[in-house]
Amino acid sequence: MQGIPDLKNISFEDFKTEVINDYKIAVRSRECSLLGRREVLTGKAKFGIFGDGKEIPQLAMAKAFKKGDWRSGYYRDQTFMMALGELSVEQFFSGLYANTDIKLEPMSAGRQMGGHFVTHSLDENGNWKDLTKQYNSSADISCTAGQMPRLLGLAQASKVFREIPDIKPTNFSINGNEVAWGTIGNASTSEGLFFETINAAGVLQVPMVISIWDDEYGISVHAKHQTTKEDISEILKGFQRDKDSKGYEILRVKGWDYANLVETFQEAGEIAREEHVPILIHVLELTQPQGHSTSGSHERYKSGDRLDWERQHDCNIKMREWIIESGISTNEELIEFERIIKREVREAKKNAWNKFLRPIIKIKTDLISLLTQLESKSANGVFISKLKESLISVDEPTKKDILSHARKALRYTIGENSNEKEKLANWIDAMFEETQPKFSSHLFSETALSNTRIKEIKPTYNEDAQLVDGRIILRDNFDAIFNNYPEAMVFGEDTGTIGDVNQGLEGLQAKYGELRIADTGIRESTIIGQGIGMALRGLRPIAEIQYLDYILYAMPTISDDLATTHYRTKGKQKAPLIIRTRGHRLEGIWHSGSQMGGILGLTRGINLLVPRNMTKAAGFYNTLLQGDDPAIVVECLNGYRLKEKMPNNLGNLKTPIGVVETVKKGTDITLVSYGSTLRLVEKSAKELLSVGIDAEVIDVQSLLPFDLNHDIVKSIEKTNRVMIIDEDVPGGASAYILDEVINKQKAFEYLDSQPKTLTAKAHRPAYGDDGDYFSKPSTEDIFEAVYAVMHEVNPSEYPKLR
């Protein structure tokens, strides 16, 4: 029989009450899992992944979790959320049905499948709530181990709040006492993100407790195929701290042993909270009663003996046995509790479904009325009537079903004019206007703190302003930032001691300390994870990726987590992380920044900024620190030693986001580019003047978002020609820019010549100057491409060049 937890400070009667309440939560959660699977099989829900078999350790974790703490978890933690009072049964089923009403489905407003949990850090106006007075869960993602990098940052924030006295974290922390709790399935520990995070947390010594739910399988694959020695804590023994070296406290506990689970999690929480060290809890002998998910049955891959063992060691059953053996309750009493809970869950499920379906039925009724009116007026009334009857026959429609019928009905009225037709067309438009934002809003901040709402402040100069290396402008601007924002910090490879590889942070670590200007290991994903976690907790981190090409190592974390944080919480969490990197044109495959199109496709939800010089870059950093949205700033790798005038308003100048700049006016053709290539375009434009071609040159500056004022089309309206010059591979950023200009800005209305793109070759550049010259557009390439356009326009004035 299991032991009973320490009863100091609590009477035995109170203890019994607490145990029974815990058991009720476990039963309630299990019933949700069982009914949830049935809802998927009946078609009411699309997919289900549930926390059955993990209930008891999650109850123990909830007991050690305090207000102000943070969770970065696994999509099976429903019992934990229920134990904290952050997830009701109705909300559980509303998530399963993908209800888009965030008041009914507060976990994601239907944007994520069930089992993905979050708490709200922001109020209705996008302002921070007091996070020290609530339980906090960062928004889950499905990507296995994807929660790990963020967990590191959530834990590091506590260290920052405790050790940097200048920060006044009134609603973010109480002396850094908060613990970050992570959960992960045993199979997901095979992911590189897990090992990267484990190593980084051991180095940083942050208050993190990571629980591994171990049921020996990863979908159908046994641990023998997943983990060396089939035991993750066994192979992590080298991380165990001792009296001579820092590391982890590693604990092991059986997942069905309620009493020891409670004791283990309490111990872990106390050590992490007081000593600020990472803890690993390996929770063994867990089960998965319904298999991995609703997409398959575990009877296909588990042996009969294993299934028998799982039935006997089901954590809820084992807790039930212990309760009876310990005299805490009787079998009869438990049966009565279980019966009542099952009835309550069924009722809550029914309520959630009715609340989901009721507004859709109202929409269906409204459309049927419109179709009834339309069929009597249309020459194709018989066909419209059939569509109406088809819709009537759908008892539990989706909005898709309803709109599909409406749009098909409208087709039958082509060439007709009637009030009824106009009503239907207006109804369809109104439906899209009302419904589309439920699926598409909050990709970026929609408050006054949106980055695009921060006003430009141009650089100003003294009359005797010096010409300095671009890096000096960056360095001095960063100095102003860290002086003005005590909550700002920067970290990355070679960022601290040497002040980054290009000296843009020279001397700042000595001035602001090793926590604020920090070196990290070579581990791109967890550098980003540090930034995400700290940004979620109100800090203003700048995560440095040494070169743009290396951002690919961090792209899963950037794309899956950072880019979707605001969207997948429907504006209830924000992570305004700034990612600083450098790239564009230089020698060699790995330092040439040729993957812009890929980054554009993977980072919607993040500003992608491409300043042409360091003054522009400095202005972007100042703008971003005033706003709410995350961003990637790509500094020009070959621009740190180029001379620029030193502004006298560093720290205050701001480069606007989503705004292009016309750097040279012209009348014959509009040339659009960005970053280092922009300098080549400017040079070519001057050379083109010698043959009578006056080109207008526009610097994109901001790829995401892009030219919000539509200034490029205004230029094309004047020149009637456009060419996009891009260092990326064909079909990359140039295709994106052209789509924005032609399709969104409708520049085709003003074009007298075919729109052109001039890009790099379909490979990355080889090493050396010749590698760049033969791989990416040169000034000669630009000159000749523009000349060819003008030759086509007027062959007599511009004879063939070659």
Q: Report how many helices (DSSP H) and strands (DSSP E) the chain contains, helices first.
A: 26, 22
CB 248 within 8 A of CB 240: yes
Pick from 439, 538, 598, 419: which is nearest to 112 by CA?
A: 439
Residue 108 tokens read as 């994601």
Cite the beta strand spans of 23-141 per DSSP E.
70-72, 136-137
Quote the CA–CA distance of 514 and 511 in Å, as a whole number: 9
Pick from 357, 348, 356: which is nearest to 92 by CA?
A: 348
Q: Please identify which of the residues 39, 591, 644, 740 carries the catalytic annotation.
A: 591
Write the CB contacts of 425 (distance below 8 Å, at least 6 apart in sequence). 410
Q: Please identify which of the residues 524, 644, 696, 740 carries the catalytic annotation.
A: 524
Please identify which residue in the block is written with the tokens 């123990």: 60
Long-range own/partner contacts, residues 692-695 (CB < 8 A, 24 or more apart): 692/797, 692/798, 693/668, 693/669, 693/786, 693/787, 693/790, 693/798, 694/666, 694/667, 694/668, 695/664, 695/666, 695/668, 695/669, 695/670, 695/671, 695/786
Write the CB contacts of 508 (distance below 8 Å, at least 6 apart in sequence). 475, 478, 479, 482, 499, 517
Chain CA centroid to CA 313, Å: 37
Q: Any idea of the CA torsion for 4, 53, 199, 525, to the nearest 10 degrees?
A: -140
Q: What are phi and psi of 41, to 5 degrees?
A: -65, -25
Q: Any idea of the CA torsion for 404, 410, 414, 417, to the nearest 10 degrees?
A: -170
Residue 746 tokens read as 């409708």
**Interstrand relation of 661-664 and 467-469 (parallel, antiparallel or unpaired):** unpaired
Pick from 722, 787, 786: which is nearest to 749 by CA?
A: 722
In sign, the C-alpha dihedral spanning 429, 434, 437, 439 is: negative
Write the CB contacts of 666 (distance below 8 Å, at least 6 apart in sequence). 685, 694, 695, 696, 697, 719
Active site residue 116: no
What 3-state DSSP class applies to 723? strand
Long-range own/partner contacts, residues 124-127 (CB < 8 A, 24 or more apart): 125/447, 126/445, 126/446, 126/447, 126/449, 126/571, 126/574, 126/628
Active site residue 740: no
CB 378 within 8 A of CB 423: no
CB 451 within 8 A of CB 629: yes
Pick from 249, 684, 218, 204: which is nearest to 491 by CA?
A: 204
What 3-state DSSP class applies to 336? helix
Q: What is the DSSP string of 661-687?
A: EEEE--SSEEEEE-HHHHHHHHHHHHH
Quote the CA–CA distance of 40 and 114 in Å, as a whole number: 11
CB 212 within 8 A of CB 280: yes
Length of the chain: 802
Chain CA centroid to CA 471, Å: 31
Pick from 345, 195, 258, 220: which is nearest to 23 by CA?
A: 258
Q: What are phi and psi of 359, to 5 degrees?
A: -65, -30
Long-range own/partner contacts, residues 793-802 (CB < 8 A, 24 or more apart): 793/721, 793/752, 793/753, 797/692, 798/691, 798/692, 798/693
DSSP state of 209: E
Chain CA centroid to CA 144, Å: 14
Catalytic residues: 524, 591
